[in-house]
Amino acid sequence: MSDCPMTILGKKMLETELNQLIRVDREDIKQAISEARELGDLKENAEYAAAKERQSIIEGKIMDLQSKLARARVIDVGNLNSEKIVFGATVKIFDQQKEIEVTYQIVGEDEAIHDPKKISYNSPLGKALIGREVGDEVTVKAPKGDMLYEVIDLKYS
């Protein structure tokens, strides 16, 4: 079982989502199942079937989040200090094709999904940036061709 790197903020986000699922969503679906049971024959009860399916989805999400939190390797970005780009770094890069500067923080997969200013360390760009330094040029292989970037700035906060 591999660890699951995340920032302190990422861990809090997952804990909040898990709390919502357990304390609110799980209880709501129990009530919906109970109400659907009262409508009669369970074999032909669409409300009951839908509620049971929703319950299955909620329980699956709960198990997934509990697993991620159990495997969490929380990284305090404020304690990092490196000349090289590592997990948690905030990186300003110059996109040579679009001729624009963009800034991303390299984080875990769950954090990157919710914020366009964050990228996963497992994404093609994230993988290409890890280990680089300010001034380095980075090439990312993409279906539409190589994407070229230059690392402009790096900070940990």
What is the number of other CB atoms lying within 10 angstroms of the CB of residue 100? 9
State the Cα–Cα distance between residues 140 and 57, nearest whole angstrom. 36
Residue 133: strand pairing partners: 84
pLDDT of residue 78: 86
Q: Taking the mean position of all CA atoms in its chain, how far away is CA 96?
A: 27
E strand or H helix that includes residue 64: helix 46-70
Residue 89: closest CA among 66, 121, 52: 121
Asked if the 77-155 domain carries CATH number 3.10.50.30, the reply is yes
| Residue 47 backbone phi and psi in degrees, to 5 | -65, -40
pLDDT at position 54 is 95
Residue 64 is which amino acid? Answer: D
pLDDT of residue 1: 54
CATH number of 4-75: 1.10.287.180
- pLDDT for 9-34, tens place per residue? 999 999 999 999 999 999 999 999 98
Tens digits of residue pLDDT in 57-111: 999 999 999 999 999 999 999 888 889 999 999 999 999 999 999 999 999 998 9
pLDDT at 42 over 80: no
Nearest residue to 50 (alpha-carbon basis) of 71, 24, 32: 32
Delimiting residues of CATH 3.10.50.30 domain(s) in the chain: 77-155
Which residues are bridge partners to 105 per DSSP? 90, 118
**25-44 mean pLDDT:** 86
CB burial readout 41-72, b (16+ within 10 A) else e: eeeebeebeebeeebeebeeebeebeebeeeb
- The model's pTM: 0.81
The helix, strand and coil proportions of the chain, stated in percent and rounded to the nearest 5, come to 45, 25, 30
Range(s) of the chain covered by CATH 1.10.287.180: 4-75
Distance CA(23)–CA(79), nearest Å, equals 34
| pLDDT band for position 157 (cuts 50, 70, 90) | confident
